[in-house]
Amino acid sequence: MDLRLEAEKRADAKIKFEENLYKYLIANTIIAVICFVFLQGFSLLFFVMFFWGIAVLDDFFKAYPFGEMVAPNYREKMVDRELSKMGE
């Protein structure tokens, strides 16, 4: 795959995760206030937080794949990264 296309794909995944995380935090804050003021309980909040949280975690793992850490060429990537940091 073209390097630029891969970079764009990763950037889009990170942007999607960040947008969903902000929406998750704002919406759950509003739901928490509504539950506290009107419902006197937080069962609705926990329900929404749990299922929406699963979706946010899914976006997180798509944006920041940990599978690359165990890839066969992971060590070589780390060596190259350290060499570039050292200026060689």
- 19-32 residues labelled b (16+ CB within 10 A) or e (exposed): ebeeebeeebeebe
Residue in 50, 51, 49 with CA at minimum distance from that of residue 25: 49
Q: Residue 65 pLDDT > 80, yes or no?
A: no
Question: What confidence tens digit (pLDDT) does each residue in 6-62 have?
Answer: 888 888 999 999 999 999 999 999 999 988 888 888 888 898 899 999 999 999 988
Packed helices 3-34 and 43-63: angle between N→C axes, nearest 10 degrees: 170
For residues 88 and 16, give the distance between their C-alpha atoms in angstroms, rounded to a whole number.
Answer: 35
The pTM of this model reads: 0.69
Query: What is the pLDDT at residue 57?
Result: 94
Q: In the 8-state DSSP scheme, what is residue 63?
A: H
Residue in 24, 14, 17, 68 with CA at minimum distance from that of residue 50: 24
Judged on CB neighbours under 10 Å (0-12, 13-18, 19+), 68 is: exposed
Query: What is the pLDDT at residue 62?
Result: 87
Query: What is the pLDDT at residue 85?
Result: 80
